[in-house]
């Protein structure tokens, strides 16, 4: 059997049981999903619930505890064994449920970033998830798409595909539809095939799917690709390091305690248990888990605000962003274009009014150029109009908003694209790209069977045009004028001399200076030789006129820009649009004070690094920018120490997004390629969403710092007590099981609750988080000191009770005071500067529940006889309990005073 690339289009379609016009039927597609499975690569590395559970049990702490429980069982201390195992179980359940939730959240986020694909089904074009594609599906490919499955091409218009994912070749390959004779050409030579995972960089095409999922060429090598381990975020690495250092220190101290105890003649078994509990107390085992959870849940919260995080790292980096480089169209503006002005050779037609514009009002000769203009605008255009079902409804446009506005403008004056297309079908095209900033289509002017030119062809084109061709071009006026040599005025064609050029550019600038997006149109007759050779060039065009479109700024963007500024973040606008349009919008949104302070893409093209750095340090608006300029700008900003967030939507934006610290893709208008490389996707394309995501990122960073400080200070409190106790004569201030309890129960629960603290009020009034800052950069000594404070009150009260009555509840006092201190500390650590009396608990009820739950558990340990037995506690009298609580609260008052001083200083 011939291979797909050897067969003709008809053969392939027949073999796969499909139809090029109809596509598959819904029923057949369903059948095939059953037969071939979903179109996705099976992931080997997905962490199943089992794996997560196992990873909990694999942690050093749990292993130590399990070994300890075995040993205690051997020496006959069954009571200890049970308590240790119960604590391990409790801890594992807590860790597991949290991490499972985090994993689920991330998996859900991953699912959301599955690309959507246009396919033909039941004769209609529909959009489906790429996972639902089956062999035989007819798929539409456009520039920016990632090819969703392997397919034989059945249509290719200037189609270029970059196949480096498979072949390593970075140059895009021009595709065709002709069969290839050779039986086994290399993948790169199969020019009539498109392979899953490769990228459409230019043009458009249609293909019939030949293989999906693991059957694709990409699937065959997927096993190799899957070994890339998920990289840790800087914070996670930092914490891992910290954990290792602490573990080493702990090991040393444990050794000392153990040996010292033995020398003092303590019981070997007791010393063993103490050493074990001490190790557990000192190693902040829970930290990495809590950090991962905080990041993953943060990502989930960001999703609610329309920011889809694709890489966990982004959650953390967002808090450090110092510059946001944003596109204009659609991100800062609404991208709901409307043609408001039509300019032809000095005559203006106001399109802005609610009433239908009246071309009849134009002088007769202008009428012709007007007709050509709108015909060109509608035909050189990939948007379509969906006529209203009811007369009173407005017509909808489908496609790019700029193009939609033009088709709609034509529709308003009774020129319908669908009729035009019958009379002048498109036969060739040179697609739009953001380098040329133009687009051209070539049309055949059909004569109808009676030899007459259809009425829909504008008069000017009809004269002597039987079986002729015409090219329509639209694009940025400055770039369009470069390829024009004549201009149409009414029904006369003049040479495009300097005077005309000046007039055109002036008109263009006038519109742009008022914030309008401006587009020019031109045309020229094309002869059949050019068409046959498929060599129609964009040259010698006849300039016809200019459209001015209004694209208002999005609501809330101005406020977001001010918020960003207050937060020490510099907003920068980078756009392909005209400098005057860009300047006007930037000034109205306070991105710049002076709208003329705009740099053009080409102005930064040939600068040296130093020169460029000087420019980027001062410029906040760039216009007429091509994608490669974006990369230069990011590079330069990063060289100056900035953490750059950058948006992008086009095919060629991918390198700049990759280079940026936070690459941001557009959810609505963005291409698959940009979404694939992005760290974050804006589901609503909105600039405001970036600022909300940064706020969320800062909050998470803040909260991580809070619980790290809480956990470490609490751990140090226990370490101090165990170290200092013997100096005062108390050889074992805390019983081993008490340490375990403290560490794994009363500490752990509030720490988790701290991870969901709401943002502090001034969170967007501080400068960005320094990136390279170690988790404990300013607070390394703090935690040790706070630990000392925590221990001082509990050890002190224990000591006094101990001296009073060595058989009394001294240890229970010490134990409880430490637990209470930690709980009060959890409340204090909520804010660095704000008094806890100003931070209502309804903002974070979880913390209140956690503290109350821990408090209740502690009471149970003190008063429930069964628990007393396990934890060697005695019931405290009311006054003792109150004293313990009062001493426990001391840390809170000290912290409040410190905050007061900080506030006063500020």
Query: Which residues does the annotation mark as catalytic?
Result: 327
| Contact between 519 and ligand ATP per CB under 6 A | yes
Contact 178, 127 (CB under 8 A): no
| Contact between 163 and ligand ATP per CB under 6 A | no
Check the CA dihedral 709-711-717-720 and report its sign. Answer: negative
| Contact between 36 and ligand ATP per CB under 6 A | no
| Contact between 434 and ligand ATP per CB under 6 A | yes
SS3 829: coil
| Contact between 507 and ligand ATP per CB under 6 A | no
Percentages helix, strand, coil for the chain, rounded to the nearest 5?
50, 15, 30
DSSP assigned state of 553: B
- Residue 290 or 332: which CB sits closer to ligand ATP? 332
**Could you tell me which stretch among 141-149, 298-306, 471-479, 636-644 binds ligand ATP (CB under 6 A)?**
471-479
- Residue 629 or 709: which CB sits closer to ligand ATP? 629
Q: How far is the CB of 648 from ligand ATP (least distance, A)?
A: 8
- Residue 41 or 372: which CB sits closer to ligand ATP? 372
**Could you tell me which stretch among 231-239, 311-319, 396-404, 825-833 binds ligand ATP (CB under 6 A)?**
396-404
H-type alpha helices, 16-163 = 26-36, 49-57, 60-74, 78-112
Contact 542, 522 (CB under 8 A): yes
**Which long-range contacts does 831-840 make (Cβ < 8 Å, 24+ apart)?**
831/760, 831/899, 832/760, 832/899, 832/902, 833/760, 833/762, 833/899, 833/902, 833/903, 833/906, 834/760, 834/761, 834/899, 835/896, 835/899, 835/900, 836/892, 836/896
- Residue 622 or 815: which CB sits closer to ligand ATP? 622
Instruction: State which of positions 542-581 bind ligand ATP (CB under 6 A).
Output: 575-578
- Residue 438 or 698: which CB sits closer to ligand ATP? 438
Q: How far is the CB of 478 from ligand ATP (least distance, A)?
A: 9
| Contact between 402 and ligand ATP per CB under 6 A | yes
# of chain residues touching ligand ATP (CB under 6 A): 21
Q: How far is the CB of 629 from ligand ATP (least distance, A)?
A: 11
Q: How far is the CB of 499 from ligand ATP (least distance, A)?
A: 23
**Could you tell me which stretch among 78-86, 399-407, 714-722, 857-865 binds ligand ATP (CB under 6 A)?**
399-407
Contact 17, 25 (CB under 8 A): no
| Contact between 474 and ligand ATP per CB under 6 A | yes
| Contact between 475 and ligand ATP per CB under 6 A | yes
Contact 136, 105 (CB under 8 A): no
- Residue 146 or 519: which CB sits closer to ligand ATP? 519
Helix (H) or strand (E) segment spanning residue 207: strand 199-211
x-marked contacts with ligand ATP along 130-159 as a string, rule CB under 6 A? ------------------------------
CB burial string 861-878: b at 16+ within 10 A, e below = bbeeeebbebbbbeebee
Task: Give CA–CA dist 647/666, Å, rounded.
Answer: 7
Nearest to 704 by CA among 302, 322, 321, 289: 289
Select the residue interacting with ligand ATP from 202, 258, 351, 432 (CB under 6 A).
Answer: 432
- Residue 436 or 706: which CB sits closer to ligand ATP? 436
Q: How far is the CB of 399 from ligand ATP (least distance, A)?
A: 9
Q: How far is the CB of 12 from ligand ATP (least distance, A)?
A: 32
Q: How far is the CB of 564 from ligand ATP (least distance, A)?
A: 17
- Residue 527 or 590: which CB sits closer to ligand ATP? 590
- Residue 519 or 656: which CB sits closer to ligand ATP? 519
**Could you tell me which stretch among 462-470, 472-480, 695-703, 838-846 binds ligand ATP (CB under 6 A)?**
472-480
Paired sense of beta strands 680-682 and 662-666, if any? parallel
Q: Compute and round to an integer the Cα radius of gyration of the chain.
A: 35
- Residue 623 or 776: which CB sits closer to ligand ATP? 623
Q: How far is the CB of 651 from ligand ATP (least distance, A)?
A: 11
Q: Which residues contact 859 (CB under 8 A, 6 or more apart)?
A: none
Tell me the β-bridge partners of 646.
Answer: 325, 663
Contact 665, 675 (CB under 8 A): yes
**Could you tell me which stretch among 310-318, 434-442, 548-556, 755-763 binds ligand ATP (CB under 6 A)?**
434-442
User: Distances from the Cα of 313 to the Cαs of 31, 299, 677, 898, in angstroms?
Assistant: 40, 10, 13, 33
Q: Which residues contact 551 (CB under 8 A, 6 or more apart)?
A: 329, 333, 334, 335, 336, 337, 338, 401, 516, 517
- Residue 432 or 810: which CB sits closer to ligand ATP? 432
- Residue 554 or 811: which CB sits closer to ligand ATP? 554
Select the residue interacting with ligand ATP from 7, 334, 343, 400 (CB under 6 A).
Answer: 400
Q: How far is the CB of 653 from ligand ATP (least distance, A)?
A: 9
Contact 461, 470 (CB under 8 A): yes
Q: How far is the CB of 477 from ligand ATP (least distance, A)?
A: 7
- Residue 517 or 830: which CB sits closer to ligand ATP? 517
Q: How far is the CB of 573 from ligand ATP (least distance, A)?
A: 7
Beta-sheet strands, E only, within 563-719: 570-574, 599-600, 621-623, 644-648, 662-666, 680-682
Instruction: State which of positions 435-454 bind ligand ATP (CB under 6 A).
Output: 437-439
x-marked contacts with ligand ATP along 775-804 as a string, rule CB under 6 A? ------------------------------
**Could you tell me which stretch among 270-278, 300-308, 473-481, 674-682 binds ligand ATP (CB under 6 A)?**
473-481
SS (H, E, C) 45-62: CCCCHHHHHHHHHCCHHH
Q: How far is the CB of 531 from ligand ATP (least distance, A)?
A: 21
**Could you tell me which stretch among 5-13, 45-53, 125-133, 430-438 binds ligand ATP (CB under 6 A)?**
430-438
Identify how many contiguous H helices and E strands the chain contains and give both numbers.
32, 26
Q: How far is the CB of 857 from ligand ATP (least distance, A)?
A: 56
Instruction: State which of positions 304-363 bind ligand ATP (CB under 6 A).
Output: 327-330
| Contact between 403 and ligand ATP per CB under 6 A | yes
Select the residue interacting with ligand ATP from 271, 302, 339, 476 (CB under 6 A).
Answer: 476
Task: Give CA–CA dist 187/748, Å, rounded.
Answer: 55
* Cα dihedral: 461, 464, 469, 471 (round 10): -40
Paired sense of beta strands 426-430 and 396-398, if any? unpaired
Check the CA dihedral 858-864-868-871 and report its sign. Answer: negative
Paired sense of beta strands 469-475 and 517-526, if any? antiparallel
Task: Tell me the residue nearest to ligand ATP as measured from the CB.
Answer: 576
DSSP assigned state of 763: G
Which positions touch ligand ATP (CB under 6 A)? 327-330, 400, 402-403, 432, 434, 437-439, 474-476, 517, 519, 575-578
């Amino acid at each position: 059997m011939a291979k797909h690339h050897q067969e003709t289009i008809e053969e392939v379609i027949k073999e796969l049981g499909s139809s090029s016009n109809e596509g598959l039927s819904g029923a057949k597609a369903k059948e095939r999903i059953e037969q071939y499975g979903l179109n996705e690569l099976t992931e080997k590395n997905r962490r199943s619930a089992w794996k997560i559970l196992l990873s909990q049990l694999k942690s050093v702490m749990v292993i130590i505890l399990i070994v300890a429980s075995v040993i205690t069982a051997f020496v006959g201390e069954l009571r200890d064994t049970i308590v240790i195992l119960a604590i391990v179980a409790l801890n594992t359940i807590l860790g597991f449920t949290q991490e499972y939730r985090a994993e689920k959240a991330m998996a859900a986020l991953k699912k959301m970033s599955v690309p959507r694909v246009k396919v033909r089904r039941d004769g209609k074009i529909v959009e489906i998830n790429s996972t639902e594609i089956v062999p035989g599906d007819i798929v539409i490919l456009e520039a920016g798409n990632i090819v969703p499955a392997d397919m034989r091409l059945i249509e290719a218009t200037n189609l270029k595909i970059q196949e480096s994912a498979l072949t390593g070749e970075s140059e895009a390959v021009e595709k065709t539809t002709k069969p290839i004779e050779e039986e086994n050409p290399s993948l790169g030579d199969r020019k009539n095939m498109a392979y899953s995972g490769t990228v459409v960089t230019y043009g458009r095409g249609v293909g019939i799917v030949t293989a999906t999922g693991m059957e694709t060429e990409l699937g065959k090598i997927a096993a190799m690709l899957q070994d890339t381990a998920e990289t840790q975020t800087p914070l996670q690495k930092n914490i891992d390091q910290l954990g290792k250092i602490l573990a080493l220190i702990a090991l040393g101290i444990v050794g000392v305690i153990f040996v010292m105890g033995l020398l003092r003649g303590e019981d070997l078994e007791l010393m063993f248990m103490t050493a074990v509990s001490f190790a557990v107390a000192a190693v902040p085992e829970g930290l990495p888990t809590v950090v991962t959870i905080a990041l993953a849940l943060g990502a989930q919260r960001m999703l609610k605000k329309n920011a889809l995080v694709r890489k966990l790292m982004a959650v953390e980096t967002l808090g450090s962003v110092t510059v946001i480089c944003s596109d204009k169209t659609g991100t800062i503006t609404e991208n709901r274009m409307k043609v408001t002005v039509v300019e032809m050779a000095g005559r203006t037609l106001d399109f802005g009014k609610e009433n239908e514009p009246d071309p009849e009002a134009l002088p007769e000769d202008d009428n012709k150029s007007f007709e050509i203009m709108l015909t060109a605008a509608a035909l050189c255009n990939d948007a379509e109009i969906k006529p209203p079902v009811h007369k009173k409804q407005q017509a909808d446009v489908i496609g790019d908003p700029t193009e939609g506005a033009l088709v709609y403008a034509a529709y308003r004056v009774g020129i319908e694209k669908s009729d035009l297309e019958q009379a002048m079908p498109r036969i060739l095209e040179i697609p739009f790209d953001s380098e040329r900033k133009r687009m051209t289509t070539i049309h055949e002017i059909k004569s109808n069977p009676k030899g007459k030119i259809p009425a829909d062809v504008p008069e000017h084109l009809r004269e002597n045009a039987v079986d002729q061709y015409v090219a329509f071009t639209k694009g940025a006026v400055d770039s369009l004028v470069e390829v024009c040599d004549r201009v149409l005025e009414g029904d006369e064609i003049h040479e495009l001399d300097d005077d005309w050029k000046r007039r055109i550019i002036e008109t263009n600038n006038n519109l742009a200076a008022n914030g309008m997006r401006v587009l020019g149109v031109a045309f020229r007759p094309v002869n059949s030789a050019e068409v046959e050779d498929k060599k129609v060039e964009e040259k010698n065009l006849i300039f016809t006129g200019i459209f001015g479109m209004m694209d208002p700024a999005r609501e809330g963007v101005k406020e977001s820009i001010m918020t960003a500024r207050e937060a020490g973040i510099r907003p920068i606008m980078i756009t392909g649009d005209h400098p005057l349009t860009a300047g006007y919008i930037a000034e109205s949104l306070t991105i710049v004070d002076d709208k003329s302070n705009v740099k053009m893409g080409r102005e930064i093209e040939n600068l040296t690094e130093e020169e460029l750095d000087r420019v980027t340090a001062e410029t906040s608006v760039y216009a007429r920018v091509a994608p490669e300029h974006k990369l230069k700008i990011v590079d330069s900003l990063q060289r100056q120490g900035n953490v750059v967030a950058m948006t992008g939507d086009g095919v060629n934006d991918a390198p700049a997004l990759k280079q940026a610290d936070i690459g941001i893709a557009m959810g609505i208008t963005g291409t698959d390629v940009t979404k694939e490389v992005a760290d974050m996707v804006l589901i609503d394309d909105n600039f405001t969403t970036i600022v909300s995501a940064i706020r969320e990122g800062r909050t998470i960073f803040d909260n991580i710092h809070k619980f790290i400080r809480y956990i470490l200070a609490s751990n140090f409190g226990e370490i101090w007590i165990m170290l200092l106790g013997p100096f005062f004569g108390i050889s074992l201030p805390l019983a081993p099981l008490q340490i375990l309890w403290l560490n794994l129960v009363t500490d752990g629960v509030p720490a988790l609750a701290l991870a969901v603290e709401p943002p502090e009020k001034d969170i967007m009034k501080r400068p960005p988080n320094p990136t390279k800052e170690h988790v404990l950069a300013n607070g390394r000594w703090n935690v040790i000191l706070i630990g000392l404070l925590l221990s001082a009150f509990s050890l002190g009260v224990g000591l006094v009770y101990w001296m009073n009555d060595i058989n009394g509840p001294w240890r229970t006092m010490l134990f409880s005071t430490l637990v209470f201190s930690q709980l009060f500390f959890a409340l204090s650590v909520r804010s660095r500067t704000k008094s806890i009396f100003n931070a209502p608990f309804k903002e974070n009820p979880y913390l209140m529940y956690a503290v109350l739950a821990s408090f209740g558990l502690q009471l149970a340990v003190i008063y429930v006889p069964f628990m007393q037995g396990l934890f060697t506690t005695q019931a405290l009298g009311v006054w003792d309990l109150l004293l313990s609580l009062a001493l426990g609260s001391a840390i809170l008052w000290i912290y409040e005073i410190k905050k007061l001083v900080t506030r006063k200083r500020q």
